[in-house]
Amino acid sequence: MLLLSNHHRHRSSLLPLLRLLHHRHRSNQHFSTLSHPPLRPLDVPLSQPTYMIWSSNTSLGKTLVSTGLSSSFLLSASSSSTSLSLFPSKKFLYLKPIQTGFPSDSDSRFLFNKLSSLSLRRQARPSLSLSDSVIYSSVSAAKSVLSDKLQAQAKEFGSGMYNLNIREVNENSGGGEAVSELVCKTLFAWEEAVSPHLAAERESGVVGDSEVLEMLDKCLREGLKSDRERMEVLCVVETAGGVASPGPSGSLQCDLYRRVIVCRDSNSNFVIIMFSEEVRPFRFPGILIGDGRLGGISGTISAYESLKLRGYDVVAVVFEDHGLVNEVPLMSYLRNRVPVLVLPPIPQDSSNDLMEWFDASHNVFNSLKDIMLSAHSKRIQRLHDMAKRAGEVFWWPFTQHGLVPEETVTIIDSRCGENFSVYKGQDIESITQQFDACASWWTQGPDAALQVTLSQMTSFVIEILWFQTELARDMGYTAARFGHVMFPENVYEPALECAELLLDGVGKGWASRAYFSDNGSTAIEIALKMAFRKFSCDHGILLDFLNNNTAERVIKLKVLALKGSYHGDTLGAMEAQAPSSYTGFLQQPWYTGRGLFLDPPRVFMCNSKWDLSLPEWLHAKIVKLQDMIIHAAGGMHMIDPLFQRILVNECRNRKIPVIFDEVFTGFWRLGAETAADMLGCVPDIACFGKLLTGGVIPLAVTLATDAVFDSFVGDSKLKALLHGHSYSAHAMGCAAAAKSIKWFKDPQTNVNIISEQKLLRELWDLELVQQISSHPAIRRMVTLGTVCALELQAEGCNAGYGSLYASSLLRKLREDGVYMRPLGHVIYLMCGPCTSPELCRQLLIKLHRGLEDFNRVEEKVRAC
């Protein structure tokens, strides 16, 4: 059987194809003009404990808890539970990103005033310096604050927000030398006491999520910066309303703070994701203010679940005692894993200054503060130890452990869209973002997916649907509904929907059956079994067998496959690939390589031009092919479909079943939904995996034609395909696949889709690609769809799969926020089908920068 794979794992030459894509016109720009100005450091500081204060609903006492925490932190002796207690003075940073009802309501001012009174009441030592500032407000809110001055200056802030920048300061000299600090900041305020999205719209002061995050980022940096040497710091970011209350743009707050920053592309009227460094989600751990009233258990649990579903950690739940003992069912629900604290009833009389209530709550706030500080130190300790522990307990695939020093282990705290959030422990602890340029072994599709609608009245209402959150929600639902259910002779919705979508999508026009498995290698083994049977049927072997005529004949079935291809690491899949580093004696002494392996023509870009390298055996006959490739070279058009297409046709003529291994290429990896679409011919059997589920959970599928299926049909069970895996057609995998298949091809959710052509638009900037392909460090380059691969100029032991030649380049790129993993001296950038071309352009710029440095060092080495 013919086994075609469009991915060659240990070579950079990808499928010899160029796409029928019109490259969008670009002006003749060069690196100097394309480069962004120097970027700010990328890190979210982790050195100081920073917590989000969430609430299951509005008016449950978030600000009272923030105030109580600040008093416990600033006005009592240092906690003995952390080493930070050695610091002589302290700082409590309170940030309120979104405030409505301003100026009559101001949570930051409330905290400022109350702490001032509490510090006097408790005769705080050391001295306390307090400040409260409000940075931006709507124009109407600003008018109430600065009515005289305002008229001339209103509208200074583009979105109708006014740069209010007011600050109130209070020095409470309690004696003693060291000065502790309370810093309160409201970032954006609106006048009406309604939901922020409504207030923002009514007061013409819509603020995008990116603006909120940018400002929060700035305030955190300023607030946490220089203080670590001399101060013990605790920071809280208090949200507005409930966990799922909308922010000013309409995004739910639980999504807003886990969101990547986006900006509007003024030319094309849709939203693009900004440069990877700008992507800075805040996955700070949280305190959830629950509801002690009737109905509060339900609201509190819902809020808790909403946070967990989005990957937030909640370290404690706190609520006001309403005499209903809500803590008992809550603690039982949380299985005592999250502490639940109960505050005394809050006096309702508005003339009550709450001083006595704060005194009565003092112990609860002390406990809460201790929980927060200790959870923080435990988190840091765990992150700090993880690399060492990993080296002791893991056996990593494709890894020579002796070559991985502890300091090079990447500690991934979480994933946000296309980025890893990586823990950095050197100097200052922080979480930094690295673009996952391996697409986590070529599986990834989730991005900060975008959907933009134009509001009738004003400019944009930006609705951002985050694919990762969507997938997580679907996974949660499916796990809750099905868990795992056995597949044979059963049907359930996710599996049925997924099979139907596959047959109507990647299998359209040829496949009629979907056979589910867990991973690419097993999908290949299933395909081989199918193909063996089909071949045996078509060539009378099966009939002979059934008639007991085979005793005399030795039947040796072989595959016809391409050299350099890779079909997985299980023993059967390995038999179908040509000898390589993976199949050699060191790896697999059983390997025989049961195939005829052809050397295919390979296509690449070098010095800005597409080129074709021909195997020896094709030289004499290839003139016609070469012509086609030269025609294609200028604009990413198709190259050489002939070689594989002719091979497929020849196999057909000889009744040899054809398998397409689309485990790597399927689902837009190369710019079309399948590589078969690009080849212009269809297989008898095809295998899919990796991007099939959007990269969230393992699943693979082998699709087959009716004719292949029919070769297994009969009266005896023994004639059926007796192959299966415990998790075949896993409901969560199928649900993720159904979502991803639809998501990737819908222009509403994937702005890269050129729907009329069923192709992705060009993602890699042609000029940059050409410049890189002309770089002296590069031997050849291929860009196709989501893949940009290049082979470094390397000779001798610097070349090949075992080479460490690219290590220094990749180290530099990781420092620059791009996580890559080499295939020897071949390196690649890989994005997802929804990644913005702008982001790809920035990746290319970084790659070029890295190559420049790499080349300089190499030249020095050569000169020595």
Q: How far apart are CA 301 and CA 288, in angstroms?
A: 10
Q: How far apart are CA 827 and CA 791, in angstroms?
A: 6
* Binding-residue pattern over the window 318 to 337 for ligand PLP, x denoting contact by CB under 6 A: --------------------
Query: What is the closest distance, in whole angstroms, from the C-beta atom of residue 440 to ligand PLP in the complex?
Result: 12
- Would you say 257 or 566 has its CB closer to ligand PLP? 566
For ligand PLP, which residue of 219, 506, 629, 663 counts as binding (CB under 6 A)? Answer: 663
- Would you say 111 or 663 has its CB closer to ligand PLP? 663
Q: How far apart are CA 602 and CA 14, in angstroms?
A: 7
Q: Cα–Cα distances in Å, from 356 out to 345, 384, 447?
A: 11, 42, 50
Query: What is the closest distance, in whole angstroms, from the C-beta atom of residue 671 to ligand PLP in the complex?
Result: 16
Q: Which of 103, 102, 128, 98 is nearest to 116 (CA)?
A: 128
- Would you say 732 or 777 has its CB closer to ligand PLP? 732
Query: What is the closest distance, in whole angstroms, from the C-beta atom of residue 747 to ligand PLP in the complex?
Result: 28
Neighbours of 761 (CB within 10 A): 16
Straight-line distance from the first to the last Cα atom of the chain, in angstroms, rounded to the nearest whole number:
53
- Would you say 590 or 617 has its CB closer to ligand PLP? 590
Query: What is the closest distance, in whole angstroms, from the C-beta atom of residue 178 to ligand PLP in the complex?
Result: 58
Query: What is the closest distance, in whole angstroms, from the C-beta atom of residue 594 to ligand PLP in the complex?
Result: 17
- Would you say 344 or 572 has its CB closer to ligand PLP? 572
Q: Which residue is listed with tokens 């020093």?
A: 405
- Would you say 670 or 851 has its CB closer to ligand PLP? 670
**Within 554-583, which residues bind ligand PLP (CB under 6 A)?**
566-568
Residue 551: phi, psi to the nearest 5? -50, -40
The contacts of residue 676 (CB under 8 Å, 6+ apart) are 506, 660, 662, 682, 683, 686
Q: Which residue is listed with tokens 């900041």?
A: 185
Q: Which of 265, 314, 315, 321 is nearest to 293 (CA)?
A: 321
- Would you say 9 or 91 has its CB closer to ligand PLP? 9
- Would you say 601 or 689 has its CB closer to ligand PLP? 689
> For the purposes of burial, counting CB atoms within 10 Å of the CB of 27, is it exposed (0-12), middle (13-18) or buried (19 or more)?
exposed
Q: For the CA atoms of 151, 152, 154, 156, what is the dihedral angle to 10 degrees?
A: -170
For ligand PLP, which residue of 3, 7, 433, 792 counts as binding (CB under 6 A)? Answer: 7
Asked if 524 touches ligand PLP (CB under 6 A), the answer is: yes
Cis-peptide into 657, omega within 30 deg: no
Neighbours of 429 (CB within 10 A): 18
Alpha-carbon torsion (203, 209, 215, 216), positive or negative: positive
- Would you say 568 or 595 has its CB closer to ligand PLP? 568
Query: What is the closest distance, in whole angstroms, from the C-beta atom of residue 724 to ligand PLP in the complex?
Result: 16
* Binding-residue pattern over the window 669 to 708 for ligand PLP, x denoting contact by CB under 6 A: --------------------x-------------------
Q: What is the DSSP letter of 556?
A: -
For ligand PLP, which residue of 242, 299, 520, 850 counts as binding (CB under 6 A)? Answer: 520
- Would you say 106 or 521 has its CB closer to ligand PLP? 521
Asked if 519 touches ligand PLP (CB under 6 A), the answer is: yes
Query: What is the closest distance, in whole angstroms, from the C-beta atom of residue 562 to ligand PLP in the complex?
Result: 11
Cis-peptide into 126, omega within 30 deg: yes
- Would you say 215 or 823 has its CB closer to ligand PLP? 823
Position closest to ligand PLP via CB: 520
Query: What is the closest distance, in whole angstroms, from the C-beta atom of residue 700 to ligand PLP in the complex?
Result: 6
Q: How far apart are CA 417 and CA 835, in angstroms?
A: 10
Asked if 366 touches ligand PLP (CB under 6 A), the answer is: no
* Binding-residue pattern over the window 614 to 633 for ligand PLP, x denoting contact by CB under 6 A: --------------------
Asked if 664 touches ligand PLP (CB under 6 A), the answer is: yes
Q: Which of 123, 21, 105, 115 is nearest to 73 (CA)?
A: 115
Q: How far apart are CA 837 and CA 846, in angstroms?
A: 14
Give the pair of three-digit tokens for residue 509.
């026009």
Query: What is the closest distance, in whole angstroms, from the C-beta atom of residue 227 to ligand PLP in the complex?
Result: 47
Q: What is the DSSP letter of 609?
A: E
Q: What is the DSSP letter of 206?
A: -
Query: What is the closest distance, in whole angstroms, from the C-beta atom of residue 821 to ligand PLP in the complex?
Result: 13
Query: What is the closest distance, in whole angstroms, from the C-beta atom of residue 568 to ligand PLP in the complex?
Result: 3
Name the segment binding ligand PLP (CB under 6 A); options: 94-102, 134-142, 519-527, 791-799: 519-527
Asked if 740 touches ligand PLP (CB under 6 A), the answer is: no
For ligand PLP, which residue of 209, 211, 413, 661 counts as binding (CB under 6 A)? Answer: 661
Q: How far apart are CA 237 and CA 258, in angstroms?
A: 13
Which amino acid type is present at position 347?
P
Query: What is the closest distance, in whole angstroms, from the C-beta atom of residue 689 to ligand PLP in the complex?
Result: 5
- Would you say 14 or 287 has its CB closer to ligand PLP? 14
Query: What is the closest distance, in whole angstroms, from the C-beta atom of residue 648 to ligand PLP in the complex?
Result: 17
Name the segment binding ligand PLP (CB under 6 A); options: 52-60, 178-186, 656-664, 849-857: 656-664
Query: What is the closest distance, in whole angstroms, from the C-beta atom of residue 59 to ligand PLP in the complex?
Result: 51
* Binding-residue pattern over the window 466 to 505 for ligand PLP, x denoting contact by CB under 6 A: ----------------------------------------
Query: What is the closest distance, in whole angstroms, from the C-beta atom of residue 5 to ligand PLP in the complex?
Result: 4
Name the segment binding ligand PLP (CB under 6 A); options: 483-491, 514-522, 554-562, 827-835: 514-522
Query: What is the closest distance, in whole angstroms, from the C-beta atom of residue 651 to ligand PLP in the complex?
Result: 19
Query: What is the closest distance, in whole angstroms, from the C-beta atom of residue 658 to ligand PLP in the complex?
Result: 15
Which amino acid type is present at position 376?
H
Q: Which helix (H) or strand (E) holds 161?
A: strand 161-172
Name the segment binding ligand PLP (CB under 6 A); options: 89-97, 210-218, 414-422, 516-524: 516-524
- Would you say 568 or 832 has its CB closer to ligand PLP? 568
Residue 420, CB half-sphere, CA atoms under 13 Å: how many? 20
Asked if 525 touches ligand PLP (CB under 6 A), the answer is: no
For ligand PLP, which residue of 138, 361, 521, 728 counts as binding (CB under 6 A)? Answer: 521
Q: Which residue is listed with tokens 């002006």?
A: 27
Which amino acid type is present at position 657?
P
Q: How far apart are CA 342 and CA 328, in angstroms?
A: 11
- Would you say 568 or 817 has its CB closer to ligand PLP? 568
Alpha-carbon torsion (849, 851, 852, 858), positive or negative: positive
Angle between helices 731-745 and 493-504 (to 10 degrees): 40
Neighbours of 149 (CB within 10 A): 11
- Count of positions on this chain that bind ligand PLP (CB under 6 A): 13
Q: Which helix (H) or strand (E) holds 402?
A: none
Contact 582, 564 (CB under 8 A): no
Q: What sections of 654-788 are H helices per DSSP?
A: 675-679, 706-710, 731-745, 766-773
Name the segment binding ligand PLP (CB under 6 A); options: 109-117, 520-528, 634-642, 741-749: 520-528
Q: Which residue is listed with tokens 């508005």?
A: 350
Neighbours of 588 (CB within 10 A): 14
**Where along the sequence are the contacts to ligand PLP (CB under 6 A)?**
5, 7, 519-521, 524, 566-568, 661, 663-664, 689
